[in-house]
Structure 1
């Protein structure tokens, strides 16, 4: 398999975590989002949406990180990253979608670039935008984790003793929030999940600064 991705892309990070958790090898193909390589004609011929990640498995290609996670789950079911029980599975998806559908879309790189280059917001205004949506989104995620704890959830992952899609989505989002200097002290359960996950080998392997296109860590 080939994975077209960018080291700082949180959606790429989700796919890398899932691949690492499932023990799947892949060819890492870097696409530099900062130089708009994803908008080059060569890349658009592969993915007309002009984004990463893009998974290519033989003659099959797929964009959208959650679609990639689902494809991996179907084609490589062990270890499972989604529970079999319908209610437990829905809870994992609920948190995954809270990150993927509510937080990430308003704070991804192309939105921030539009704010600055078209709407001419200041750096301070961009930071205020980012911080606002992180606070609103992580507050909702934290409540989902509180609800899980109230139902008897024991951790240390978001939903029990094994990683799921929820962790694949939450870890990159918290990493981005910290990189953007957002205060996440109001979300102790989310922070605890993040801290546990990044200490695990698969998550460390998938981390941004472990990737070949990453610069030397500051």
Structure 2
């Protein structure tokens, strides 16, 4: 589709966030990206799905540009905010009973790999107030303590544009 992300691993090229994450998990299974507990595993799949199919596509730059072209910047903001708040409400309800330091416990799993950048974008690109989402806010604070997450933010990438909105 001509979009990022893409992973080049020797002769193998994998695109799409979920496919890349699952490829890496199978190639480097330690630490695992899915908990052994079946319920927590399902919650990880649900959380990732909410982000990659229920929030992220609606805030992508091409979609936002299209909305501005067809309507205006205010409509784009309303569209993006609606997608994020609807998704965050669902995530908050899903995770509130199983969260630990991270989304589904005290280890980083699949859900966290989707949540960390989504929450980061919501706060920094779209100025979403996290007060209604205390579980997600707590997870985000924990992500910010991890060097791997700190180093992965878009602003720190060598090819990051001057503005990501």
TM-score > 0.5, shorter chain as reference: yes
Which digits, 9 at most, give the CA deviation of each residue in 1:84-133, with x for residues without a partner? 3333211111111111111111111111111122x1x2211111111111
Task: Return the match for 2:84 from 110, 134, 138.
Answer: 134
For 1:10, the equivalent position in structure 2 comes to none
The CA deviation at 1:214 is: 3.1
Which secondary structure state, in structure 1, belongs to the residue aligned with residue 29 of structure 2? coil
Structure 2's unaligned 5+ residue stretches are none
| Greater RCO structure (CA 8 Å; 6+ sep) | 1
Q: Partner residue of 1:197? A: 143
Corresponding residue number in structure 2 for 1:21:
none
Equivalent residue number for residue 45 of structure 2: 93
Aligned to 2:93: 143
Give every structure 1 segment of 4 or more consecutive aligned residues whose post-TM-superposition deviation is greater than 6 Å. Answer: none
In 1: Cα distance, 2:2 partner to 2:150 partner: 27
User: 2:38, 2:67 → 1: CA distance?
Assistant: 40
Structure 1 residues 2-13: aligned runs within 5 Å: none
Cα separation, partners in 2 of 1:215 and 1:105, compared to 1, 3 Å = closer
The structure where helix makes up a greater share of residues is 2
**Aligned-pair distance for 1:160?**
0.9
Secondary structure of the structure 2 residue equivalent to 1:147: coil
In structure 2, what is the equivalent of residue 110 of structure 1?
A: 62
RMSD of the alignment, in Å? 1.6
Structure 1 equivalent of residue 130 of structure 2: 184
Q: Is the 8 A contact 2:47 2:91 kept in 1?
A: yes
Partner residue, 2:22: 70
Q: After superposition, give the CA deviation of every residue in 1:154-199 in whole Å (9 maximum; x if it has no partner).
A: x111111110111110111111111211222100110110111012
Say if 2:112 is the partner of 1:162: no
CA drift at 1:210: 1.9
Q: TM-score of the superposition, structure 1-length normalised? A: 0.70
